[in-house]
Structure 1
Amino acid sequence: MSSSLRRGALAAAAIAFSITALTACGAGNDAQTLGIKPDHAATAVGDIKIQNAIVITQPDQKSGGPAVVAATVFNDGRTPQTLDSIAVEGAGTADLTPVNGSKVTVPAGGSVVIGGKGNTSAVLSNPGEAVKSGSAHKVTFSFSKTGDVSLEAFAVPAESYFTKWGPTAIPSPAAPEAPSESATASPSEGAPSGSPSATAGH
């Protein structure tokens, strides 16, 4: 196992533990989540705290397809802020889809979970080859008042625990191409008249 894969596996295990704790504890001013300080992909700028940020790729990265960003965003301020964008270095800006309304709003003294069923989604439609399992990427969250908040997040495949947090659009395995008409074999001269010709799918 390469060093990058080992780092990715260790990071995935630590992040899985942290996200499990977050989702189990809930959110709010007095939530236990505010006391959690995970070892990976966490930062704080002003009133904004970001924890458990990860980029989740397709299970089979050779298949292509979208990736997603997962994170939990806390707002310790007295006024709400909107999360205007999430950009992953080398993979572009994610398409944000809020649960309610037209903007992703982080309430005052509250939090927003990004990723997973029923939560705000952040989809990278074309992450490219740079986003691979075990690699780390600069992820920048842009807020209406705090501005840009950046951190380094690991990329992990949507496998095991991360399946429920990963992309909902997973490409089907590519079907084998049928032979073209020009490639269809025909009996050669001198071949027995009963020899079958090749047909697509055989």
Structure 2
Amino acid sequence: MSSSLRRGTLAASALVLSIASLSACAAGNSAQTLEVKPDNAATSVGDIKLQNMNVITQPDLDAKGPAVITGKLFNNGRKDQTLRAISLVGKNATVKITPASGSGQLVVPAGGSVVLGGKGNASAVLPNGREALKDGEQQKLSFDFSDTGAVNIGAFVVPAKSFFKEWGPEAPSSAPSQSASAPAQAGKPGKPGAEGSTGAPGGQQSAEGKPGAGEPSQGGQQHAGH
């Protein structure tokens, strides 16, 4: 084999190894973030990095209710930063930010990260998602951090279906059923001494060792235990 052919073979092998290494790194980064599609938006400004950002709406087009912003926030600096606000560029929409603790400000710790969306994580909710968003479009978001300032990124708007189902917003609560709201007819105490009455005076029940009025029945105790 000539020297030029050997050099060409070695160069091709090095290129294959480089591509394989990059693919492995990409898979690792995706697994460490939200386990969502690796081609989702990411950007960095100063010490702040945003990755895998999405806006997830209700699963049905005609369903009213909130939408949520999901993704991961990284702080590569030595100082904690507070996420003060998120705005939808060009839209008059309010985003409610809540930390995982349920109260206070959302702080991205120095050298750490915060996940937006999903059970037990911090949340960014748009109460009226369908009024401002359309599935399939890319919405520009602006994140306002206490030290870095504005960090802008384009996020995909997707319905809470398939892969995004677990990360989506809560479904709107349904109206109470008629049977649940109707007053109960059964269980009314019968008149003492009336024919066909199932209720007996509380004193007689207590004397026989049965629960008197105002005490939970055995059935109620079992129900509470379930």
TM range (shorter): 0.5 to 0.7
Aligned mates of 1:128, 1:91 — CA distance in 2: 12
Partners of 1:18 and 1:52 within 8 A in 2: no
Q: Which residue of 2 aligns with 1:150?
A: 152
Q: Which residue of 2 aligns with 1:127?
A: 129
SS at match of 1:73: strand
Q: Which residue of 2 aligns with 1:105?
A: 107
| Higher normalized contact order (CA 8 Å, seq sep 6+, divided by chain length) | 1
CA offset digits 1:90-119 (Å, max 9, x no partner): 251310111135010000000000000000
Q: Which residue of 1 aligns with 2:164?
A: 162
* TM-score of the aligned structures, taking structure 1 as reference length: 0.66
Amino acid across the alignment from 1:107: P
Which has the greater radius of gyration? 2
Partners of 1:56 and 1:155 within 8 A in 2: yes
Distance 1:51 1:91, change over 3 A: farther
Partners of 1:56 and 1:167 within 8 A in 2: yes
SS at match of 1:167: coil
CA offset digits 1:50-95 (Å, max 9, x no partner): 0001000000121111100001000000010001111123251310
Aligned mates of 1:72, 1:134 — CA distance in 2: 21
SS at match of 1:92: coil
Aligned Cα root-mean-square deviation (Å): 2.5
Superposition pairs for residues 43-192 of structure 1, below 5 Å? 43-89=43-89, 90=91, 92-100=93-101, 101-172=103-174
How far did residue 170 of structure 1 move?
Answer: 3.2
Identity %: 51
Aligned mates of 2:116, 2:56 — CA distance in 1: 12
Aligned mates of 1:20, 1:61 — CA distance in 2: 30
How many residues are treated as equivalent by the alignment?
146
Partners of 2:68 and 2:124 within 8 A in 1: yes
How far did residue 130 of structure 1 move?
Answer: 4.0
Distance 1:55 1:39, change over 3 A: same
Aligned mates of 1:80, 1:157 — CA distance in 2: 33
* TM-score of the aligned structures, taking structure 2 as reference length: 0.59
Q: Which residue of 2 aligns with 1:22?
A: 33
Partners of 2:34 and 2:71 within 8 A in 1: no
Aligned mates of 1:91, 1:41 — CA distance in 2: 22
SS at match of 1:61: coil
Partners of 1:91 and 1:124 within 8 A in 2: no
Which structure carries more helix by proportion?
Answer: 2
Structure 1: runs of 5 or more not aligned: 1-16, 25-37, 176-202
SS at match of 1:68: strand
How far did residue 23 of structure 1 move?
Answer: 4.0
Amino acid across the alignment from 1:81: Q
